[in-house]
Amino acid sequence: MGISELCDATTIIVSEETGDVKFVKNGTFYNIRLEQFQEQLVKYLKD
């Protein structure tokens, strides 16, 4: 999360235990379903 607070990077976090995927952009967490990963990644990167 730290890097997304310091610059305009989007961070992708994948839980080793559950497989849950999250995006972190500007310090804000976004939960994402794996089935929609590519679609949501493109959306968040364009914003």
At 23, is the secondary structure helix, strand, or coil?
A: strand
**What residues make up the domain containing 40?**
2-46
14-24 pLDDT, tens digit per residue, is 999 998 999 88
State pTM to two decimals. Answer: 0.64
What confidence tens digit (pLDDT) does each residue in 1-47 have?
Answer: 567 677 777 888 999 999 899 988 888 888 988 888 888 888 877 87
Measured CA distances, 31 to 20, 21, 46 (Å): 8, 6, 17
What type of residue sits at position 4? S
Taking alpha carbons only, the member of 4, 22, 5 closest to residue 13 is 22
Question: How many domains are there within the chain?
Answer: 1
